[in-house]
Amino acid sequence: MKKSYLYMITLILFAMVTILIARDWRVGQIPNGEKFSCSNCHIDPQGGGARNKFGQAVESRVTPGGREEFWNSTLAFLDSDGDGKTNGQELGDPNGTWRPGQPNPGIFNSVSNPGNSLSTGVEDVAEVPSSYRLLNNYPNPFNPLTVIAFEIPQNENVSLKVFNINGQLIRTLTNEHLPAGKYEKTWDGKNEIGKEVSSGIYIYRLTAGKFDRSARMVLMK
Protein backbone atom coordinates (compact mmCIF):
# COMPACT_ATOMS: atom_id res chain seq x y z
CA MET A 1 0.00 0.00 0.00
CA LYS A 2 2.71 2.43 1.05
CA LYS A 3 4.81 1.43 -1.91
CA SER A 4 2.10 2.13 -4.48
CA TYR A 5 1.43 5.49 -2.81
CA LEU A 6 5.08 6.47 -3.24
CA TYR A 7 4.96 5.23 -6.81
CA MET A 8 1.94 7.44 -7.53
CA ILE A 9 3.64 10.54 -6.10
CA THR A 10 6.76 9.84 -8.16
CA LEU A 11 4.64 9.50 -11.28
CA ILE A 12 2.79 12.76 -10.61
CA LEU A 13 6.04 14.65 -9.92
CA PHE A 14 7.56 13.26 -13.09
CA ALA A 15 4.54 14.35 -15.12
CA MET A 16 4.65 17.86 -13.62
CA VAL A 17 8.37 18.29 -14.37
CA THR A 18 7.83 17.01 -17.91
CA ILE A 19 5.05 19.52 -18.49
CA LEU A 20 7.19 22.38 -17.12
CA ILE A 21 10.17 21.43 -19.31
CA ALA A 22 7.91 21.13 -22.36
CA ARG A 23 6.47 24.58 -21.71
CA ASP A 24 9.94 26.11 -21.28
CA TRP A 25 11.07 24.40 -24.43
CA ARG A 26 8.15 25.74 -26.45
CA VAL A 27 8.53 29.30 -25.17
CA GLY A 28 12.22 29.10 -26.15
CA GLN A 29 11.35 28.24 -29.75
CA ILE A 30 10.19 31.75 -30.66
CA PRO A 31 12.23 34.97 -30.30
CA ASN A 32 11.51 36.85 -27.05
CA GLY A 33 9.09 34.04 -26.18
CA GLU A 34 9.51 34.53 -22.45
CA LYS A 35 7.97 38.01 -22.53
CA PHE A 36 4.44 36.71 -22.99
CA SER A 37 5.23 33.06 -22.26
CA CYS A 38 2.16 30.83 -22.68
CA SER A 39 -0.12 33.69 -23.75
CA ASN A 40 1.83 33.97 -27.00
CA CYS A 41 -0.07 30.91 -28.13
CA HIS A 42 -2.94 30.38 -25.70
CA ILE A 43 -6.03 32.45 -25.00
CA ASP A 44 -5.75 31.57 -21.30
CA PRO A 45 -2.58 33.36 -20.06
CA GLN A 46 -1.80 30.37 -17.81
CA GLY A 47 -1.43 28.23 -20.92
CA GLY A 48 -3.23 25.09 -21.97
CA GLY A 49 -6.65 25.03 -23.57
CA ALA A 50 -7.62 26.81 -26.75
CA ARG A 51 -4.90 28.38 -28.88
CA ASN A 52 -5.09 31.88 -30.28
CA LYS A 53 -4.46 32.53 -33.99
CA PHE A 54 -0.69 32.65 -33.54
CA GLY A 55 -0.77 29.44 -31.51
CA GLN A 56 -2.74 27.79 -34.30
CA ALA A 57 -0.15 28.91 -36.86
CA VAL A 58 2.62 27.50 -34.65
CA GLU A 59 0.73 24.25 -34.11
CA SER A 60 0.34 23.72 -37.84
CA ARG A 61 4.13 23.77 -38.16
CA VAL A 62 4.89 21.19 -35.49
CA THR A 63 5.04 17.60 -36.64
CA PRO A 64 3.31 15.10 -34.32
CA GLY A 65 5.84 14.24 -31.60
CA GLY A 66 8.44 16.17 -33.54
CA ARG A 67 10.77 18.78 -32.12
CA GLU A 68 11.48 20.72 -35.26
CA GLU A 69 12.35 24.39 -35.20
CA PHE A 70 9.19 26.04 -36.43
CA TRP A 71 10.25 29.69 -36.22
CA ASN A 72 11.28 30.88 -39.67
CA SER A 73 10.46 33.57 -42.24
CA THR A 74 7.14 31.94 -43.17
CA LEU A 75 5.83 32.30 -39.64
CA ALA A 76 7.55 35.69 -39.22
CA PHE A 77 5.87 37.19 -42.31
CA LEU A 78 2.35 36.21 -41.22
CA ASP A 79 0.20 38.63 -39.24
CA SER A 80 -1.63 36.01 -37.19
CA ASP A 81 -3.66 38.32 -34.95
CA GLY A 82 -4.46 40.73 -37.80
CA ASP A 83 -3.28 43.91 -36.05
CA GLY A 84 -1.21 45.13 -39.00
CA LYS A 85 2.15 43.99 -37.62
CA THR A 86 3.69 40.71 -38.70
CA ASN A 87 4.55 38.04 -36.15
CA GLY A 88 8.23 38.80 -36.78
CA GLN A 89 7.78 42.52 -36.20
CA GLU A 90 5.92 41.84 -32.98
CA LEU A 91 8.57 39.44 -31.70
CA GLY A 92 11.56 41.60 -32.68
CA ASP A 93 12.69 39.39 -35.57
CA PRO A 94 11.00 40.75 -38.74
CA ASN A 95 12.80 38.38 -41.12
CA GLY A 96 12.49 35.22 -39.06
CA THR A 97 16.24 34.63 -39.02
CA TRP A 98 16.59 34.14 -35.26
CA ARG A 99 17.20 30.56 -34.11
CA PRO A 100 16.52 28.92 -30.73
CA GLY A 101 19.46 29.34 -28.35
CA GLN A 102 20.56 32.66 -29.82
CA PRO A 103 20.23 35.87 -27.79
CA ASN A 104 16.84 37.55 -28.12
CA PRO A 105 16.68 39.87 -31.15
CA GLY A 106 15.30 43.39 -31.22
CA ILE A 107 14.21 45.52 -28.29
CA PHE A 108 12.62 43.48 -25.49
CA ASN A 109 10.46 46.39 -24.27
CA SER A 110 8.98 46.80 -27.74
CA VAL A 111 8.01 43.17 -28.18
CA SER A 112 4.27 42.67 -28.47
CA ASN A 113 2.17 39.53 -28.38
CA PRO A 114 1.69 38.08 -31.91
CA GLY A 115 -1.44 36.28 -30.72
CA ASN A 116 -3.21 39.27 -29.21
CA SER A 117 -4.23 42.16 -31.45
CA LEU A 118 -4.63 44.44 -28.41
CA SER A 119 -0.97 44.04 -27.45
CA THR A 120 0.94 46.80 -29.18
CA GLY A 121 4.28 46.69 -27.40
CA VAL A 122 6.10 49.99 -27.45
CA GLU A 123 2.92 52.05 -27.66
CA ASP A 124 1.80 50.50 -24.35
CA VAL A 125 4.62 52.20 -22.51
CA ALA A 126 3.34 55.54 -21.25
CA GLU A 127 6.75 56.65 -19.98
CA VAL A 128 8.10 59.70 -21.77
CA PRO A 129 11.68 59.42 -23.03
CA SER A 130 14.13 61.86 -21.44
CA SER A 131 16.09 62.61 -24.61
CA TYR A 132 16.11 62.31 -28.39
CA ARG A 133 17.42 58.99 -29.61
CA LEU A 134 17.82 57.32 -32.95
CA LEU A 135 18.47 53.64 -32.33
CA ASN A 136 20.34 51.22 -34.57
CA ASN A 137 18.06 49.56 -37.07
CA TYR A 138 17.53 45.84 -36.59
CA PRO A 139 18.23 43.49 -38.08
CA ASN A 140 21.25 44.88 -39.89
CA PRO A 141 22.25 43.77 -42.49
CA PHE A 142 18.70 42.92 -43.46
CA ASN A 143 16.50 41.41 -46.15
CA PRO A 144 13.79 42.40 -46.81
CA LEU A 145 12.60 44.19 -43.65
CA THR A 146 14.29 46.27 -41.00
CA VAL A 147 12.94 48.21 -38.03
CA ILE A 148 14.12 51.69 -37.07
CA ALA A 149 13.28 52.86 -33.56
CA PHE A 150 13.49 56.39 -32.21
CA GLU A 151 12.44 58.36 -29.17
CA ILE A 152 11.33 61.95 -28.78
CA PRO A 153 10.93 63.64 -25.37
CA GLN A 154 8.38 66.22 -26.51
CA ASN A 155 5.77 66.79 -29.23
CA GLU A 156 7.60 67.47 -32.44
CA ASN A 157 7.47 67.58 -36.19
CA VAL A 158 9.29 64.38 -37.06
CA SER A 159 10.65 63.07 -40.31
CA LEU A 160 12.38 59.75 -40.87
CA LYS A 161 13.71 59.28 -44.37
CA VAL A 162 15.82 56.75 -46.22
CA PHE A 163 18.47 57.92 -48.69
CA ASN A 164 20.83 56.05 -50.95
CA ILE A 165 24.57 56.54 -50.69
CA ASN A 166 24.38 59.38 -53.25
CA GLY A 167 22.00 61.30 -51.03
CA GLN A 168 18.93 60.70 -53.16
CA LEU A 169 15.69 60.28 -51.24
CA ILE A 170 14.46 56.70 -51.49
CA ARG A 171 11.58 56.60 -49.08
CA THR A 172 9.84 58.75 -46.48
CA LEU A 173 8.89 56.54 -43.52
CA THR A 174 7.42 59.32 -41.40
CA ASN A 175 6.75 62.99 -41.87
CA GLU A 176 4.25 64.17 -39.31
CA HIS A 177 3.67 65.82 -35.95
CA LEU A 178 4.08 63.20 -33.23
CA PRO A 179 3.48 63.24 -29.47
CA ALA A 180 6.42 62.52 -27.15
CA GLY A 181 7.12 58.80 -27.04
CA LYS A 182 8.92 55.80 -28.43
CA TYR A 183 8.33 54.78 -32.01
CA GLU A 184 9.23 52.04 -34.43
CA LYS A 185 9.05 52.27 -38.20
CA THR A 186 9.58 49.41 -40.57
CA TRP A 187 11.31 49.79 -43.93
CA ASP A 188 10.47 47.07 -46.40
CA GLY A 189 13.33 47.80 -48.79
CA LYS A 190 11.02 49.52 -51.28
CA ASN A 191 11.09 53.03 -52.71
CA GLU A 192 8.21 55.54 -52.85
CA ILE A 193 6.56 53.80 -55.81
CA GLY A 194 6.71 50.38 -54.15
CA LYS A 195 9.64 49.03 -56.16
CA GLU A 196 12.28 46.94 -54.39
CA VAL A 197 15.63 48.68 -54.29
CA SER A 198 18.94 46.93 -54.87
CA SER A 199 21.43 45.67 -52.28
CA GLY A 200 23.70 48.27 -50.78
CA ILE A 201 24.27 50.80 -48.06
CA TYR A 202 21.41 53.13 -47.22
CA ILE A 203 21.21 56.07 -44.85
CA TYR A 204 18.30 56.72 -42.53
CA ARG A 205 17.90 60.20 -41.19
CA LEU A 206 15.74 61.35 -38.31
CA THR A 207 14.92 65.00 -37.82
CA ALA A 208 12.81 66.09 -34.86
CA GLY A 209 12.90 69.79 -34.05
CA LYS A 210 16.60 70.65 -33.81
CA PHE A 211 17.60 67.00 -33.48
CA ASP A 212 19.12 65.68 -36.69
CA ARG A 213 20.86 62.33 -36.85
CA SER A 214 21.73 59.81 -39.54
CA ALA A 215 22.94 56.24 -39.53
CA ARG A 216 23.83 53.59 -42.07
CA MET A 217 22.18 50.29 -42.79
CA VAL A 218 22.90 47.51 -45.24
CA LEU A 219 20.36 45.82 -47.45
CA MET A 220 21.84 42.48 -48.46
CA LYS A 221 19.94 40.24 -50.85
Contact footprint for Ca ion (CB under 5 A): 79, 81, 83, 85
- Complex with Ca ion: residue 79 or 174, whichever CB lies closer: 79
In whole angstroms, the minimum distance from the beta carbon of 216 to Ca ion comes to 29
HEC string for the chain: CHHHHHHHHHHHHHHHHHHHHHHHHHHCCCCCHHHHHHHHCECCCCCCCCECHHHHHHHCCCCCCCCCCCCCHHHHHCCCCCCCCCHHHHCCCCCCCCCCCCCCCCCHHHCCCCCCCCCCHHHHCCCCCCCCEECCCECCCECCCEEEEEEECCCEEEEEEEEECCCCEEEEEEEEEECCEEEEEEECCECCCCCECCCEEEEEEEEECCEEEEEEEEECC
Measured from the CB atom, is 35 or 85 closer to Ca ion?
85
- Find the shortest distance in angstroms from Cβ 77 to Ca ion: 11
Output 81 or 184, the one with its CB closest to Ca ion: 81
Toward Ca ion, which CB reaches closer, 74 or 155?
74
Based on CB atoms, which residue is closest to Ca ion, 116 or 146?
116
Q: How far is the CB of 111 from Ca ion (least distance, A)?
A: 12
- CB 92 to Ca ion: min, Å: 13
Of 88 and 156, nearer to Ca ion (C-beta) is 88
> Least Å distance between CB 116 and Ca ion?
9
Distance between CA 132 and CA 206 in Å, rounded? Answer: 10
Closest separation between CB of residue 83 and Ca ion, Å? 4
